[in-house]
Amino acid sequence: MPISNLTPADLRLTIAPDSLGFSDTSELLNLPLPWIGQERAETATRFGLGMDQPDYNLFVLGEVGSGRTSLLRQAMQVVAVERLVPPDLCYLHNFDTPERPLALRLPAGQGRQLRQLLQQMAKSLVTEIPQQLAGQDFKTESAHIEKAFKDEEAKAFAELSAFAEARNFSIHREAGRMVFTLLGEAGQPLVEDEVLSLPKERRAAVEQAEQELRAEITLYFEKTRPLERVMNEALAALRRQVVKPLLDHGLQEIRAGLKKQIKDAAKLNAWLDDMAHDVLDNLGLFQADDDDEESRQESQERALSRYRVNLVVDNGGLSGAPVIVEDNPLFRALFGSIEYQSENDVLVTDFTRIRAGSLLRAHGGFLMLYLRDLLADELVWEKLRRFLRSGRLQIEEPGTAFTPIAAVSLEPEAVDVEVKIVLIGSREQYYELQEADPEFARRFRVKVDFAESFSASEETRRASSVFVAHACRQLGLPHFSAAAVARLLEDAHREVEDQTRQSAIFGRAEALVMESAALCRARKDGLVEAADVDAALQARIWRHDYPDQRLRESIAEGEIMIELRGGKIGQINGLTQVDLGDYRFGFPVRITARTFAGEDGLLNIEREVELSGPIHDKGVFILQNYLAALFAHIAPLSLNASIVFEQEYHGVEGDSASCAELYALLSSLSGQPLRQGIAVTGAVNQHGEVLPVGGINEKIEGYFRICETAGLDGSQGVLIPHRNRRHLMLGSKVVDAVAKGLFHIYTAEHANEGIELLTGLPAGMANEAGSYPHGSVLGHAQKNLQLFRRACHVPEHPKAGRKLLR
């Protein structure tokens, strides 16, 4: 196929504003915003969100700006509205083991209701229990119980007193103790000296009597203490009997207030019964005590705190399942936490300090996480793996064991959590995870793959226009005219370098919408026009193209040597691209080749000094094999050749320069000059076919700017692969120059076509013997290779024979 000289119509896709079917985007506001070009991802999302089986979590793959977060959030909200509101989650004091608080699930809204009911009941207990215990009936009955005890006690004490008097002792009670004193003959108390002055026999009798009295006192206490215990038990039973109806009434109101069916009804009823028993066991805290009122009130507050409800998840305000996007998945934020307070150098806590994390709050709904954030914390990653394996969540506070002071720990009851996790990551992270942690990957059986580009059609352009309309409404921006939208769509084609495909990275499009709207407002016009979009694109380039400008200035000033006119042997301008992440640009680089007789073959100087990457090295090896195949009939080639990128000090990667390297080698080998005004890009395979390359628009425009600065004379242009034609989305300056004949864009399918354009000679076709025509480029190269071979195989000059002396 002969070489093609492209026309202006071939150089870019132009979208007619009239083809979009609207005047401005305000006409599209009533249309829903679709998943533009993401049919595969949309289908997978609907399937995954609708699957209620375990391990059908979603892993979302895609580039930043592809809409993966916003579209998944929108899809989750749509599904969540149709689901039932999940229950509340409460933590309660465990009366048996306080360090293990109980978890309680209640229908949505009833957690708040239970908390209010218990607060009201606690207030009523504080006021009504003392009133009940101060009632006349209680006082009368308790007095009767106390009188019965006192009567029995008085009778026993009278017997004890009579026993003491019979042995000349007087006895009385003092602060709960028995005090007895020896009496004299006149009935007066004897002091110690008087006792010591008694005769020995009398003292022995007194000691004997004292021992008997002490034994009798012991019997007295053994008799009265059970009576006192019976009295206390009777008083406690009386208090219980008086207060129990009050408690029963309060608990009945609580049970009646929770009318809906409760899954954990048995657990709640058991806890309420335990609460009632605890209140009855601590009725003394509700009675005034003048001796130590402050201490009693503190104890009462501690007791009442056990009857509170820690409502960690309150779903009372929801109208469907929860949708949570966790942007900061720290351990506490994701799994919950237990707060501590320092008291006397000890960290203390209780069930009221348990806090829920995103996982608990997302129970019954959806939770979106970002894989990169999870991988940043090993503790988070490991606990999430355990949760996905078991489906149960245990709230814990990591690191408490390593605190410098002692801590009172809690072990809240673990709860089952049913949540659909949507994990956002890149393709690289997805496949790395599949290999590194297959167990974790199996928990995400739904792969939602967001495309980076999609085939353009009338439907996708219409949908993209709707996206612009919604963005204008959401961001409060002026609307776009049809011409401005057409320009946005053309830029979306330029972004993916394809006239038939459109970029799916709508984050970039949204930024361009905002920047264009800002320029429109600056000129105080109603609608954003195509000129505003062009100005925004130019301003964006201006903010980022300083490195490009400096390279162009270096070329214009002669620091970087680039020939744009005439012909040179073994020298050609290759086209390269620099990707800075936020900006890409192309520029030419001189490639030179030298050939001469030898046996070393092709030397890639970049490779020798480790300035080339593996893909570039691969391209050079392919070129070497293609060159050897062209001249197989002369094999082995007696050739030394070198290739170098002149003034390149930062490294070379990629195979898009292999065509230019081939042409430089053939020029040096054949002695035929190459047109310096034609820059070349393209890869070559082992059959000489020219393969497409990336960054084609940036490369062409970069070289065009160099030629424009030096002055266009109609001899400059670029040679690109024929298979890159559909990727052309060139700027208007290049298109205008081509239309005027000042710049040319040629395409080639085979390397032979390119060498003919650059030398003006036929490439040459080998005959049956493998020889090329004498006037062709390959014919000249063949002739020189034969000369190289003869030069390498010329026998050395014979040494002179040694003369013999006779």
Q: Report the relative pairing of strands 58-61 and 446-449 from DSSP bridges.
A: parallel
Cα dist from 450 to 61, 67, 68, 325, 459, whole Å: 6, 8, 7, 19, 18
What confidence tens digit (pLDDT) does each residue in 104-151 have? 999 999 999 999 999 988 888 888 877 777 777 777 777 777 777 777
Cα dist from 596 to 573, 674, 694, whole Å: 22, 18, 33
Is the distance from CB of 59 to CB of 446 less than 8 angstroms? Answer: yes
Q: Can you tell me whether residue 84 is helix, strand or coil?
A: coil
Predicted local confidence at residue 184, as pLDDT: 67
Is the distance from CB of 703 to CB of 575 less than 8 angstroms? Answer: yes
Cα dist from 383 to 143, 401, 403, 512, whole Å: 62, 17, 21, 41
Least confident of 53-62, 79-88, 117-126, 512-521: 117-126
User: Would you say residue 656 has pLDDT above 90?
Assistant: no
SS3 letters across 404-454: CCEECCCCCCCEECCCEEEEEECHHHHHHHHHHCHHHHCCECEEEECCCEE
What average pLDDT is seen over the chain? 86
What confidence tens digit (pLDDT) does each residue in 183-196 have? 766 666 766 666 66
CB atoms within 10 A of CB 350: 21
Predicted local confidence at residue 176, as pLDDT: 66
Q: Can you tell me whether residue 93 is helix, strand or coil?
A: coil
Residue that wins the pLDDT comparison between 226 and 571? 571
Q: Report the relative pairing of strands 366-370 and 406-407 from DSSP bridges.
A: unpaired
Cα dist from 678 to 571, 636, 738, whole Å: 11, 33, 14
Is the distance from CB of 665 to CB of 593 less than 8 angstroms? Answer: yes
What's the CA gap between 209 and 107, in Å, rounded? Answer: 75
Among candidates 280, 242, 293, 290, which has minimal Cα distance to 139? 242
User: Would you say residue 272 has pLDDT above 50?
Assistant: yes
User: Would you say residue 583 has pLDDT above 80?
Assistant: yes
Range among 251-255, 301-305, 417-421 with highest mean pLDDT value: 417-421
What's the CA gap between 574 and 369, in Å, rounded? Answer: 45
Predicted local confidence at residue 404, as pLDDT: 54
Least confident of 3-12, 266-275, 786-795: 786-795
What confidence tens digit (pLDDT) does each residue in 435-490 have? 888 888 899 999 999 999 999 999 999 999 999 999 999 999 999 999 999 999 99
Is the distance from CB of 312 to CB of 354 less than 8 angstroms? Answer: yes
Is the distance from CB of 688 to CB of 752 less than 8 angstroms? Answer: yes
The total number of residues shown for the chain amounts to: 806
User: Would you say residue 290 has pLDDT above 60?
Assistant: no
Which secondary-structure segment (H or E) carries 801?
none
Cα dist from 253 to 127, 129, 470, 617, 744, whole Å: 17, 17, 52, 83, 90
Q: Residue type at 238?
A: L
Is the distance from CB of 587 to CB of 552 less than 8 angstroms? Answer: yes
- Sorted by sequence, the CB contacts under 8 Å of residue 707 that are 6+ apart come out as 564, 677, 716, 743
Is the distance from CB of 676 to CB of 566 less than 8 angstroms? Answer: yes
**Per-residue buried b or exposed e for 311-340, using 16+ beta carbons within 10 Å of the residue's own CB:** bbbbbeebebbbbbbbeebebbbbbbbbeb
Q: Residue type at 316?
A: G
Among candidates 349, 358, 341, which has minimal Cα distance to 310? 349
Among candidates 480, 459, 469, 502, which has minimal Cα distance to 13? 502
Predicted local confidence at residue 800, as pLDDT: 45
What's the CA gap between 104 and 127, in Å, rounded? Answer: 29
As given in the structure block, the two tokens for residue 779 are: 């014919």
CB atoms within 10 A of CB 10: 17
Least confident of 493-502, 647-656, 793-802: 793-802
Predicted local confidence at residue 581, as pLDDT: 83
Predicted local confidence at residue 223, as pLDDT: 76
Is the pTM higher than 0.85? The answer reads no
Q: Which whole number is the average pLDDT over 490-503?
A: 94
As given in the structure block, the two tokens for residue 174 are: 């003092």
Q: Which whole number is the average pLDDT over 191-212?
A: 73
Is the distance from CB of 690 to CB of 721 less than 8 angstroms? Answer: yes
Predicted local confidence at residue 175, as pLDDT: 67
Predicted local confidence at residue 314, as pLDDT: 94
Q: Cα-Cα-Cα-Cα dihedral of 422, 424, 425, 430, to 10°?
A: 10
Q: Can you tell me whether residue 767 is helix, strand or coil?
A: coil
Q: Which whole number is the average pLDDT over 626-647?
A: 79
User: Would you say residue 65 has pLDDT above 60?
Assistant: yes
806 band by pLDDT with thresholds 50, 70 and 90: very low
As given in the structure block, the two tokens for residue 126 are: 């504080």
Which residues, listed in sequence order, are joined to residue 573 by a DSSP beta bridge? 590, 679
Torsions phi, psi of 351, nearest 5? -65, -20
Residue that wins the pLDDT comparison between 571 and 201? 571
User: Would you say residue 692 has pLDDT above 90?
Assistant: yes
As given in the structure block, the two tokens for residue 77 are: 């909200």
Q: Is the peptide bond before 32 cis (omega within 30 degrees of 0)?
A: no
What's the CA gap between 95 and 102, in Å, rounded? Answer: 10
User: Would you say residue 600 has pLDDT above 80?
Assistant: no
Predicted local confidence at residue 235, as pLDDT: 72
Is the distance from CB of 619 to CB of 657 less than 8 angstroms? Answer: yes
Q: Which whole number is the average pLDDT over 152-156?
A: 77
Among candidates 706, 722, 716, which has minimal Cα distance to 738? 716
What is the DSSP annotation of 503-535?
Answer: E--HHHHHHHHHHHHHHHHHTT-SSB-HHHHHH
Residue that wins the pLDDT comparison between 423 and 256? 423
Is the distance from CB of 785 to CB of 634 less than 8 angstroms? Answer: yes
Q: How far is CA 611 from the centre of its chain?
A: 36
As given in the structure block, the two tokens for residue 584 are: 């890409």
793 band by pLDDT with thresholds 50, 70 and 90: confident
27 band by pLDDT with thresholds 50, 70 and 90: very high
Is the distance from CB of 10 to CB of 728 less than 8 angstroms? Answer: yes
Is the distance from CB of 546 to CB of 538 less than 8 angstroms? Answer: no
Torsions phi, psi of 114, nearest 5? -65, -40
Q: Which whole number is the average pLDDT over 253-277?
A: 84
524 band by pLDDT with thresholds 50, 70 and 90: confident
Is the distance from CB of 407 to CB of 343 less than 8 angstroms? Answer: no
Is the distance from CB of 423 to CB of 443 less than 8 angstroms? Answer: no
What confidence tens digit (pLDDT) does each residue in 747-767 have? 999 999 999 999 999 998 888
User: Would you say residue 24 has pLDDT above 60?
Assistant: yes
Q: Residue type at 96?
A: D
What confidence tens digit (pLDDT) does each residue in 392-417 have? 999 988 765 445 555 667 899 999 99
Percentage of the chain modeled with pLDDT above 70: 92
Is the distance from CB of 627 to CB of 580 less than 8 angstroms? Answer: no
Among candidates 58, 55, 32, 735, which has minimal Cα distance to 447? 58
- Sorted by sequence, the CB contacts under 8 Å of residue 102 that are 6+ apart come out as 91, 92, 93, 94, 267, 271, 413
799 band by pLDDT with thresholds 50, 70 and 90: very low
Among candidates 353, 483, 435, 456, which has minimal Cα distance to 18? 483
Is the distance from CB of 260 to CB of 110 less than 8 angstroms? Answer: yes
Least confident of 57-66, 176-185, 530-539, 586-595: 176-185
What confidence tens digit (pLDDT) does each residue in 344-394 have? 777 788 899 999 999 999 999 999 999 999 999 999 999 999 999 999 999
Is the distance from CB of 692 to CB of 721 less than 8 angstroms? Answer: yes
Q: Can you tell me whether residue 726 is helix, strand or coil?
A: helix
What's the CA gap between 415 and 394, in Å, rounded? Answer: 7
What's the CA gap between 683 and 749, in Å, rounded? Answer: 11
As given in the structure block, the two tokens for residue 328 are: 């900061």
What's the CA gap between 561 and 28, in Å, rounded? Answer: 54
Say which DSSP state 558 is in.
T
